[in-house]
Structures are given as structure tokens and as C-alpha cells.
């Protein structure tokens, strides 16, 4: 059954946990969808894990639409949330609505996600008013990496913690159906989760959040450029892939692949006539 914003609201009400994983292509989306994960995030982390950029700054609307379309085809049940890339919503509320609309119409998103708190609340409200569900994202917001001076835990000081609470309340008041909280001390995320009536989706924010999200290459051990403290490796798929690639290389070079069962037959009398 399709997960919707109502699934998220019900989970918060009933205290059941929500799951979200990133995906950027059809095949992975199908695997995640079929595992019963509630939501797939087409994150702008695709800049890091799919395109090899050092951050998410260069990711474009075209990149997001291209990957969102593929994921949407493979995710009939999971709620597909698509990230709004850097500068697709910060420039004006008008741009925010137009670009959110493109992710829905062209990317076939079920919802969009954008980074920020009080400052982006007017954009969230306008997008929600246009009939587009919005997931907010506060705490460590990777599009602001240059303003933060690096990827660092957020909300540690009293002032920063108060600001994060204000941000959370602002995005809720603006109509967000959920909020991702990234790299925030567990006790602060717990407090925000208690204060909000919308679900909190944690990444590096402890188990007290209403749900969790991870980048799938991180949790499968497929990406090693950098690994944040909050990542748990659930499998070492990167090692399995490396071993398989190595074996393929060896078998092709020593002639053991392809074997007879991987080839197509033709009648010998036809072949003989061709010599
Ligand atoms: O882009 C992304 O993958 C994200 C998650 C880390 C929450 O925003």
C-alpha cells in the first residue's frame, strides 16, 4: 500500500517508527520499496555518492529530476521525497514554488524536502499552499556547509539549541508534514520530537526521533570518501562488489567466463556452411 503523508501523521500519533532511505535509481528504489521502508529520499547527497562531488552545492534541478523520475518508477509503495537543490528555493518564494512544482510534475515526487528553519518558513508555507507536501530539514544542513565552516554537529550551545527549537516550531507552523533533524545532540532531538506534532526523522540525532534516515551507500558500506559518526554499516556490500568485480576480471582473462551455459547455440550444419 502506498505510504503517504497520512502514514507519517498516523505513525506520530501511534508512536510507531518511520523508516526512510535514500535512493537515486530504479533498481535500488525497487529493492528498498520491496523491503517495506516507508519512504525513499532522492537526496541531493546524490552529488556526493552518485556524481562524486565533494559537497551538494553543484547539484542542479535537472540532476534531481533525472534521478527522481527513475526512483518514482521503482517505488510504488514508498513515499518518494525529493530534495530541492541549492539555490532552487533560497532565491525567492516564487522560485521555491516553481521548482517544487517541477519536482512533482517532471520528477513524479510525492513530496519535496528543503533545508532550513525560520528563514525558509515562508517558502515552505507557499509550497504547501500550492498542494505540495514539504519535509523540512534542520540541524546540519549540508547546503550551508560553507556558512557552517564544515560538517559539524549543530545545536550544542544554549543559543544554538534555542534556535533549533525555534526552527522546528517554525517549519511545523509553516505546514511541513515532517522534519529531518541532522547531526544534533540526542537530548535536544528528543526535546524537539516531544514539542512537535509532526514526525521527526533523525540522522545523527538519536533513537528518540520518530523515524530514521540514512544514505543507502553509507549503510551498505559502498561509499568511503567520508563516513559520519552516525552511520551504522548494516552490510559490507562494497566488499562483495569489489570481490565480484575482481572475480569477473580474472574469469574473463583466464577464459572461464563465459561458460557454455552463458552462450547461444546454432546448428553445426549452418555454421559449417559459413567457413
Ligand atoms: O541528501 C540527503 O541524502 C539528505 C539526508 C542525509 C537526510 O538530505
The pLDDT tens digits for 129-180 are 999 999 999 999 999 999 999 999 999 999 999 999 999 999 999 999 999 9
Pocket test for ligand 1, best of 19, 55, 83, 226 (most atoms within 8 A of CB): 83
For residue 160, report the phi and psi dihedrals to the nearest 5 degrees. -70, -35
Distance, in Å, from the CA atom of 106 to the CA atom of 69, rounded to the nearest integer, reads 7
* pTM, full prediction: 0.97
Confidence of residue 202 (pLDDT cuts 50, 70, 90): very high
Instruction: Annotate 197-242 with DSSP letters as a single string.
Output: SSPEEEESS-TTSSEEEE-HHHHTT---S---TT---S--HHHHHH
Q: Is 62 one of the annotated active-site residues of the chain?
A: no
On whether the CB atoms of residues 99 and 84 are closer than 8 A, the answer is: yes
pLDDT at site 205? 98
Q: Which CATH number fits domain 5-236: 1.10.150.120, 3.20.20.60, 3.40.50.1980, 3.20.20.80?
A: 3.20.20.60
Rg (CA), the chain: 22
On whether the CB atoms of residues 185 and 156 are closer than 8 A, the answer is: yes
pLDDT at site 149? 93
- The verdict on the CB of residue 210 being under 6 Å from ligand 1 is no
Pocket test for ligand 1, best of 64, 180, 216 (most atoms within 8 A of CB): 180
**Residue from 182, 239, 261, 272 carrying the catalytic annotation:** 182
Pocket test for ligand 1, best of 179, 182, 183 (most atoms within 8 A of CB): 182
The CA–CA distances, whole Å, from 242 to 53, 92, 158 equal 22, 45, 46
Ligand 1 atom closest to the CA of 215, numbered from 1: 3
Q: From the centroid of its chain, how far is CA 106?
A: 18
Mean pLDDT for the chain overall: 98
CA–centroid distance, 189 to ligand 1, in Å, is: 17
User: What residue ranges do the domains of the chain occupy?
Assistant: 5-236, 241-273
Distance, in Å, from the CA atom of 2 to the CA atom of 112, rounded to the nearest integer, reads 17
CA–centroid distance, 156 to ligand 1, in Å, is: 21
pLDDT at 250 over 90: yes
58-100 tens-digit pLDDT: 999 999 999 999 999 999 999 999 999 999 999 999 999 999 9
Long-range contacts of 100-105 (CB under 8 A, 24+ apart): 100/127, 100/130, 100/132, 100/134, 101/130, 101/132, 102/61, 102/65, 103/61, 103/64, 103/65, 103/68, 104/132
**Closest residue to atom 2 of ligand 1, CA basis:** 43
- The verdict on the CB of residue 217 being under 6 Å from ligand 1 is no
pLDDT at 226 over 90: no
16-26 tens-digit pLDDT: 999 999 999 99
Mean pLDDT of 44-63: 98
Ligand 1 atom closest to the CA of 203, numbered from 1: 7
- The verdict on the CB of residue 116 being under 6 Å from ligand 1 is no
Amino acid at each position: 500500500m502506498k505510504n503517504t503523508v497520512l502514514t507519517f501523521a498516523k505513525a506520530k500519533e501511534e508512536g510507531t517508527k518511520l523508516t526512510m532511505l535514500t535512493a537515486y535509481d530504479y533498481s535500488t528504489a525497487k529493492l528498498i520499496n520491496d523491503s517495506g521502508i516507508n519512504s525513499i529520499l532522492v537526496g541531493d547527497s546524490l552529488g556526493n555518492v552518485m556524481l562524486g562531488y565533494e559537497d551538494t552545492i553543484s547539484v542542479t534541478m535537472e540532476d534531481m529530476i533525472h534521478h527522481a523520475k527513475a526512483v518514482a518508477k521503482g517505488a510504488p509503495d514508498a513515499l518518494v521525497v525529493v530534495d530541492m537543490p541549492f539555490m532552487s528555493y533560497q532565491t525567492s518564494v516564487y522560485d521555491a514554488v516553481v521548482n517544487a512544482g517541477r519536482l512533482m510534475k517532471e520528477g513524479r515526487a510525492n513530496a519535496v524536502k528543503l533545508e532550513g528553519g525560520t528563514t525558509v518558513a515562508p517558502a515552505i508555507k507557499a509550497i504547501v499552499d500550492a498542494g505540495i507536501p514539504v519535509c523540512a530539514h534542520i540541524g546540519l544542513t549540508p547546503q550551508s556547509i560553507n556558512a557552517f565552516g564544515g560538517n559539524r554537529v549543530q545545536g550544542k550551545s544554549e543559543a544554538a539549541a534555542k534556535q533549533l527549537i525555534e526552527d522546528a516550531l517554525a517549519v511545523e507552523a509553516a505546514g511541513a508534514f515532517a522534519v529531518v533533524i541532522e547531526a544534533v545532540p540526542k537530548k535536544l532531538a528528543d526535546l524537539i520530537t516531544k514539542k512537535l506534532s509532526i514526525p521527526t526523522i533523525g540522522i545523527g540525532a538519536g533513537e528518540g526521533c520518530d523515524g530514521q534516515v540514512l544514505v543507502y551507500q553509507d549503510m551498505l558500506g559502498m561509499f568511503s570518501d567520508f563516513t559520519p559518526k552516525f552511520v551504522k554499516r548494516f552490510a559490507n556490500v562494497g566488499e562483495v562488489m569489489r570481490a565480484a568485480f575482481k572475480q569477473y576480471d580474472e574469469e574473463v582473462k583466464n577464459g572461464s567466463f563465459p561458460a557454455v551455459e552463458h552462450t547461444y547455440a546454432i546448428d553445426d550444419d549452418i555454421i559449417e556452411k559459413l567457413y
